Structure 1
Amino acid sequence: MEFDRVQAIASLSFDKETIPEEFIWPEKEQPATTTFDGRVPEIPTIDLNDPNPENLVRLIADASKEWGIFQVVNHGIPSDLIAKLQDVGKKFFELPQEEKEVYAKPHDSKSIEGYGSKLQNNPQVKKSWVDHLFHIIWPPSSINYQFWPNNPPSYREVNEEYAKYMREVTDKLFTALSLGLGLEGHALKEGAGGEEIEYMLKINYYPPCPRPDLTLGVAAHTDLSALTILVPNEVPGLQIFKDGNWFEAKYIPNALIIHIGDQIEILSNGKYKAVLHRTTVAKDKARMSWPVFLEPPGELVVGPLPHLIKKDNPPKFKAKKFEDYMYCKLNRLPQ
C-alpha cells in the first residue's frame, strides 16, 4: 500500500488523548470558540420555490454579495434521494481500507479524481483530519467509472439520479445569479462553460478525533469552482469567515448549502464573493459532507464578463484557462 500517495486517518492508531504531530495545526489556525455580544448571525436560508421570482433573485444576489454562501430549501431534490446519497457514501467509507484503496487516486494523475486524504501539493502544510473520494457525475462524456465504487451495489444508480436533479437546481441558481447582476439569465452559466460544466462530486469523511481543538477537517479556503452545492450530515463543522469571525453553519435537514466559488467571483468581477470557509471535526461522531463542485472545462478561459466592465469598473481579475487557475491554486502559486 502506497502511504506516500494516500494515508487513511481512520486507520491510524494512537493514544486516545493525542493525535500525530503532523495533524496539529499552528495555534492561530486551530478552532476556537468565538463569543458574541447579541445574537450570532445565521447564513441566509432561501426558499428556492419562492412564488415571487424577483424576490428570489434579490435574496440570492444579496446573500452572494454579503455572505458568499446561503442555504436553499424546497429545491426539488427528493428527501429520500438525499438520504440514499448519504447512505451509499457512508457505506463506502465503512468498507475495509484495502477495498477503498482500489479507488485511490493514481500517483501520477493530473486529475483530483479518486480516493485519498491529501489534495494540495505542499508538504509544509499540516495534514487535515479527513479522507475523501472525488469523481465526476456529469456530463456523461467526462465520467470515469473507474472511480465510482461498485460497493454498495446501488452506488451508481443513486449518484446518476442525483446528478439529474442537481442539474435542475444548478440552472435555477445560475439564472438567479445572472439576473441579480442585471444580465441575461444564461450569462453566468455560459461564462462558466455552459453544457460542458463538469459536476465534480466529493465525499468528505471526517472520523471522530480525540483532540478536535488541535486540528482541522479542511483548512480555511475558497472553492476554485464556479458554484459548490453541498449536502451535510447532521454533525456540525462547516464554518464561515465573515466580519472577522468564524460562524458555524446551522444544520437544516434536507437543505442544500450553496457556496459562491472563485470562478463566479471572477465572472462577476467581484460583485459576488467567494466564501472563505473551513471544517472542524468532532470528538465522538463522524462528520460527512457531499459537495458537488461546478467547474469549467479545463481549456475554457474564464475572466470578468464583458458586460460588467466599464470605465469606472475595470477588470479586477486576469482572464485565464481554468486548468491553469486550478494548477496555481492547488500548488499555492500566485494567480
Structure 2
Amino acid sequence: MEVERVQSISTLSVSVNKIPFEFIRSENEQPAITTVQGTMLEVPTIDLDDPDEEKLVALIARASSEWGLFQIANHGIPNEVIKKLQEAGKEFFELPQEEKEVYARPPGSERMDGYGTQLQKEIEGKKGWVDHLFHTIWPPAAINYQFWPKNPPSYREANEEYTDYLKKVSDKLFKCLSLGLGLEGHELKAAVGGDNLVYLLKINYYPPCPRPDLALGVVAHTDMSALTILVPNDVPGLQVFRDGQWYNVDYIFNNLIIHIGDQIEIVSNGKYKAVLHRTTVNKEKTRMSWPVFLEPPSDMVIGPHQKLVVDGESPAKYKIKMFGDYRHCKLNKIPQ
C-alpha cells in the first residue's frame, strides 16, 4: 500500500496514546489553545418549509451575509433516507483496507473522485486526521461509477435516493439566495452552472484520535464550491471562525448544515460570505460527515454577476476565472 491511511494510524496511535509528529498542529492552530471553551455557537436555524417566502428569503439572505452558514429544518428529506446514506457510508469505511483501496483516487488525477487521505497541499507538511471518499452524484453525464463502492450492496440505491431529494433542497436554496440578491429566482443557479451544476459527495471519516487537543480533522478553510449541503453523524466536530475566535457549532439532529462557498461569494460580489471553518476530532468516537459540494463545471467562467456590479457605486471585487483554474489554485495554495 503506497499511502498510509489515517484509519490505520489511528489504531496504532490509540494503543500507544500518542500521534505522529506530522499530525500535531502548530500552537496557533491547536484546538485546545485556540477554541473558545464552554460556548456552543448557535448558528441560524431556518425552517425551509416556511410558507412565507418573503420571510424565508430574508432569513437566508441575512444568514448568508452575516454568517456564511446556517442550518435548515423541515427540508423534506426523510430521516430514513439520511439514515440509509449514513449506514452505507459507514459500512464502506468498515471494510477491510484492501477492499477500500480498490476505489483509491489515481495518483495525479485532476478529478476529485476516489478514496484517499491527503487532499491538498499543507503548510509545513502537516496532515489532517481524516480519510475520505469522493464521487460525483449528479448530473448523470459527470458520474464515474468506478468510484462508487459495490459493497455494501445498498450503497448505490442509498446515494441515488438521497440525491433525488437533495436536488429539490438545492433548487429552493438557490432560488431564495438569488431573490435575496434582488435577482430573478433562476439567475444565481444559472451563474454557477445551471443544469450542469456538479454535485460532488465527500464522505469524511475521522477515526478516534488519542490527542484531539493537538490535531485537526480538516484545517481551516472556505469551501471552493458554490454551496455545500452537509449532514454529520452524532459526534460534534464542526468549528466556525467568528469575531476573531474559533467556536464549536451546536448541531441540531436531522437538520442540514449549509455552507456558503467561494463561488457564491464571488457571484454575489461579496454580499454573501464564504464561511471559514475547520473540523476537530474525538478521543473515543469516530466522527463522519457527508458534505455535498455544488460546483460549477470545470470550464464555467465565474465572476461577479453583471447585475450586481455598478461602476463607481459597486465595482467588481473579484476576478473573473474559469472554475477549473480556481480549483487548481486553491488545492495547490497558489494565489487567486
TM-score, length basis structure 2: 0.96
Contact residue 22 and residue 127 of structure 2 kept, 8 A: yes
Q: Summarize deviations over 1:282-305 as a string: whole Å, max 9, x none.
A: 000000000000000000000000
Give the partner amino acid of 2:114: G
Distance of 2:274 and 2:194 partners within structure 1: 20
Distance of 2:37 and 2:114 partners within structure 1: 39
Give the partner amino acid of 2:183: L
Contact residue 204 and residue 290 of structure 2 kept, 8 A: yes
Change (3 A) 1:198 1:305: same
Q: Summarize deviations over 1:197-236 as a string: whole Å, max 9, x none.
A: 0000000000000000011000000000000000011100
Moved over 4 A (4+): none
> SS where residue 125 of structure 2 aligns?
coil
Q: Work out which of the residue numbers 7, 11, 25 in structure 1 matches 2:8.
A: 11
Q: 5 Å matches for 1:136-155?
A: 136-155=136-155
Contact residue 230 and residue 291 of structure 2 kept, 8 A: yes
Partner residue, 1:125: 125
Partner residue, 1:331: 332
Give the partner amino acid of 2:244: G
Distance of 2:22 and 2:56 partners within structure 1: 45
5+ long unaligned stretches in structure 2? none
> SS where residue 124 of structure 1 aligns?
helix
Q: 5 Å matches for 1:78-97?
A: 78-97=78-97
Q: Summarize deviations over 1:258-295 as a string: whole Å, max 9, x none.
A: 00000000000000000000000000000000000000
Distance of 2:218 and 2:289 partners within structure 1: 12
Distance of 2:172 and 2:250 partners within structure 1: 23
Q: 5 Å matches for 1:209-228?
A: 209-228=209-228
Q: Work out which of the residue numbers 33, 36, 39 in structure 2 matches 1:34.
A: 36
Q: Summarize deviations over 1:81-139 as a string: whole Å, max 9, x none.
A: 00000000000000111110000000131111100011003473310000000000000
Give the partner amino acid of 2:27: E
Change (3 A) 1:83 1:67: same
> How far 1:253 sits from its partner (Å)?
1.4
Q: 5 Å matches for 1:289-308?
A: 289-308=289-308
Give the partner amino acid of 2:313: D
Partner residue, 2:165: 165
Distance of 2:40 and 2:207 partners within structure 1: 28
The answer to whether 1:309 aligns with 2:309 is yes
Contact residue 201 and residue 290 of structure 2 kept, 8 A: yes
Q: 5 Å matches for 1:245-264?
A: 245-264=245-264
Aligned length: 330
- Identify the range of structure 1 (15-24 vs 274-283) with the bigger mean alpha-carbon deviation: 15-24
Contact residue 41 and residue 250 of structure 2 kept, 8 A: no
> How far 1:2 sits from its partner (Å)?
1.5
> How far 1:249 sits from its partner (Å)?
1.7
Contact residue 40 and residue 250 of structure 2 kept, 8 A: no
Distance of 1:35 and 1:92 partners within structure 2: 34
Partner residue, 1:321: 322
> SS where residue 239 of structure 2 aligns?
strand
Distance of 1:89 and 1:141 partners within structure 2: 23
Distance of 1:35 and 1:278 partners within structure 2: 16
Give the partner amino acid of 2:36: T
Distance of 1:168 and 1:35 partners within structure 2: 37
Contact residue 40 and residue 248 of structure 2 kept, 8 A: no
Partner residue, 2:61: 61
Distance of 2:123 and 2:183 partners within structure 1: 43
Distance of 1:304 and 1:117 partners within structure 2: 34
Give the partner amino acid of 2:20: P
> How far 1:16 sits from its partner (Å)?
3.0
Give the partner amino acid of 2:126: K
The answer to whether 1:105 aligns with 2:102 is no
RMSD over aligned CA atoms reads 1.2
Distance of 1:26 and 1:41 partners within structure 2: 24
> How far 1:248 sits from its partner (Å)?
1.5
> SS where residue 161 of structure 2 aligns?
helix
> How far 1:41 sits from its partner (Å)?
4.1
Distance of 1:271 and 1:125 partners within structure 2: 34
* Identity across the alignment (%): 65
Distance of 2:317 and 2:266 partners within structure 1: 8
5+ long unaligned stretches in structure 1? none
Distance of 1:99 and 1:171 partners within structure 2: 36
Contact residue 68 and residue 274 of structure 2 kept, 8 A: yes
Contact residue 301 and residue 321 of structure 2 kept, 8 A: yes
